[in-house]
A and B are shown apart, each in its own frame.
Chain A
Amino acid sequence: MNTHIVLSAINISADYILDSKRGLYLNAIDNVSIDFRSDEVIGIAGESGSGKSTLVKILYGAAFPPLIIRKGKVYLFTKDNSKIDITSITREELRKNIWWKHISYIPQNAMNVLNPVKKVKDQFIEVFKYHDERIDAKETITKIKELFMRLGLPIEALNAYPHQLSGGMRQRVVIALSLLFNPRIVIADEPTTAVDVVTQLGILNLLKDWQRNSKTTLIMVSHDMSVHAYMDDRIVVMYAGNVVEVGSKNDIFENPMHPYTKLLIASLIKKGEKKLKTGIAGEPPNLLNPPPGCRFHPRCPFAMDICRREAPPIVELSDGKVVRCWLYARK
């Protein structure tokens, strides 16, 4: 395969400041390293509060207080093979050179991010201005029309106000905006949570087609495992701020390694199943005061003594599989 690394996160730990005087910090991301390759759909899965969105914010370079990065670097590899550290450059530089040109971001509940008092057309023009792209209005319109055709949006939508469009259409407009400058990495944060199943499938197909045609990197963030089953090539499973397992889609669904992934996959309800399933006992931990050792040990049926004392090592197995668990640690 002819792919290369486009974005690389190395040993990231990040906290939310709750009360700096009393030293109250919430450890949202703990020692996370992931490489993102070109031409792949990589999914980030995990429950609410597992740190999916926080991780994505850091990858995008949008880590502003109260979120602080304690440790680690995020490197972006550009076309001419130079390496940019996203965590250390200024916001102005990010805006001018990185955002939307290299990385773009489809935010959570994308249907509500459009300015309600501006026509869709004007929102597009504003984006061109914000990124210092100087092209005249006519050229802008032709470029947008092209994009709309690809996403199956009617051209009349350009002259509409956001409230005149349905939820699914607004979502597609936001996707169109984020693909405007042909970015090489697109982060989609829960792109289909608020839409119904039929629209969801349509939007996922649009994203997938776009990714396959342009051979770019699509980072899918979702709590819904069926979305991952449909979209991903590789899946990153997160639990309580840790990456617990990374593997190909088939490995994660058919041969999960980490106890959390095993229990999660076993609890999923497939179409046409009536057999009694069991969920995972207990609740996710409070990150203000995470359990010592492995953060999953209070709910883990395989917990050993060492799991309660020491944080598990990151074990790399064959085929790029990574699992963070004492069960697979070798001496």
Chain B
Amino acid sequence: MQGNENSLKVESVSKYYGYGLLGLKKFKVLDKISLGIPLKPPTIFAIVGETGSGKTTLLRIILRMIKPDEGVVKYKGLDVFKLPRNAVSWYRKEVQPIFQDPYESFNPLRRVDSYIFDAAKRMAKVDKGSIEEYVDGILRYVGLSLDRVHGKYPHEFSGGELQRIAIARAIAARPTLILADEPVSMLDASLRVNVLNLFKKIRDDLGTSIIYVTHDLATAYYIADQIAVLYRGSLVELGSIDKVYENPRHPYTQLLLTSILEPDPKISEKIKPLKLSTIELKEFLAQGCKFAYRCPYASKKCFEKEPPNVTINGVIVKCHLYEKS
């Protein structure tokens, strides 16, 4: 780590949402999350978790769309929520999002090429004379061209093309960090690999770091360098992807790794059935470890006390099992 200068730091961020009749009762969607994403060298950072684990909320906080109730987000040493006025637009240029559903992220009444021209003009400050060349270059980089995109509306493209246009729009702003929220889950299997390969290319050629949010561990392993596993709003395991993958320590990560289905015809002999969860809100409100209700190793302590963060071999695990006594 070379200090704060070249990283995005999330420091013990918590967020509460209300529930109940008037939303007066609160539960924690994110529970003191701390992680750092290096911008140099460029890294692909995977955030993995199931539905309702707080992945998207964390992403929205980093994007400055919602304010955390506790904690700070620091980008290159600056607090993102206390930026001076002129720095807000700088931050908006530096950090670019790509969303899950490409059909919903474009205005259906607006020509898609205008998004890329806008990003080039306003954010990357490309001058008028060379803008067409610049946009064409970026579209070619993602496997399209200005001729094919010019003057067309979102419904004239397929999902895979539109997602590549969304990526082109993001990189047209010359960002240092891209946040991709489930970018391939809406795409067909045969096109998915192409988009994932494009992310690898962006990291290597353009030197852009990428936060890849997904529920799919197989694709996370395919492209990512580091991984954070979320469960019901708390970060249960954090570290380099090879270490976590080969030797998952937290019981939840182990469960997640054993329940992925693979495109392998012999898989049905390898996987053992498990019990289904019936409690969700109860888990968010749990005093101790949030996974305790489903954990095969749970002891009395797990229900009562919040587990500590233990560092083993460069991987942070939030579990009582690894506590030094």
Contact = CB atoms under 8 A, between A and B. Distances in A.
B193 A229 contact: no
Contacts of B158: 283-284
Given A225-B189, A279-B194, A199 B218 contact: no
B222 A198 contact: no
A2 to B, nearest CB: 22
Given A198-B256, A199-B276, A284-B158, A270 B193 contact: no
A229 B267 contact: yes
Contacts of B191: 279-280, 283
Interface in B199-226: 200, 215-219, 221-222
Interface stretch (B76-84, B258-266, B310-318): B258-266
Contact of B263 (A154, A167, A225): A225
B277 interface: yes
B217 A253 contact: no
Interface in A301-329: none
Nearest to A205: B273
Given A197-B256, A271-B217, A279-B193, A250 B265 contact: yes
Interface in B266-319: 267-268, 271, 273-278, 280
Interface in A166-182: 166-169, 172
A264 B276 contact: no
Interface in A213-238: 223-231
A6 to B, nearest CB: 23
A254 interface: yes
Nearest to B281: A166
A168 B161 CA distance: 32
Contacts of B215: 196-197
Question: Which has the most chain A C-beta neighbours within 10 Å: B193, B197, B215, B216?
Answer: B193
Contact of B271 (A196, A228, A230, A276): A230
Interface in B170-190: 188-190
Contacts, number: 143
Contacts of A197: 50, 215-217, 256, 259-261
A194 B186 CA distance: 11
A278 B188 contact: no
Contacts of B271: 201, 230
A279 B191 CA distance: 6
A47 interface: yes
A265 B193 CA distance: 12
A38 to B, nearest CB: 20
Interface residues of A, number: 53
A168 B52 CA distance: 12
Given A47-B189, A198-B255, A254 B265 contact: yes
A223 B324 CA distance: 46
A138 interface: no
B51 interface: yes
A79 interface: no
A272 B274 CA distance: 22
Contacts of B121: none
B260 A166 contact: no
Given A48-B159, A229-B264, A271 B276 contact: no
Interface in B140-162: 158-161
23 contacts: A48-B159, A196-B51, A198-B255, A198-B276, A200-B259, A202-B275, A202-B276, A204-B261, A229-B265, A230-B267, A253-B263, A253-B264, A253-B265, A269-B192, A270-B218, A274-B221, A278-B194, A279-B197, A280-B190, A283-B160, A283-B161, A283-B191, A284-B158
Interface of A: 47-48, 152, 154, 166-169, 172, 194-205, 223-231, 249-250, 252-254, 263-265, 267-274, 276-280, 283-284
- Of all A-B residue pairs in the complex, the 9 with the closest CB atoms, nearest first, are A196-B50, A47-B188, A226-B261, A279-B193, A279-B194, A268-B263, A202-B276, A280-B190, A253-B265
Interface of B: 50-51, 158-161, 188-194, 196-197, 200, 215-219, 221-222, 245, 255-257, 259-265, 267-268, 271, 273-278, 280
Given A200-B259, A277-B197, 10 more contacts: A47-B188, A154-B278, A197-B260, A198-B259, A199-B50, A225-B189, A230-B261, A263-B190, A269-B193, A280-B190
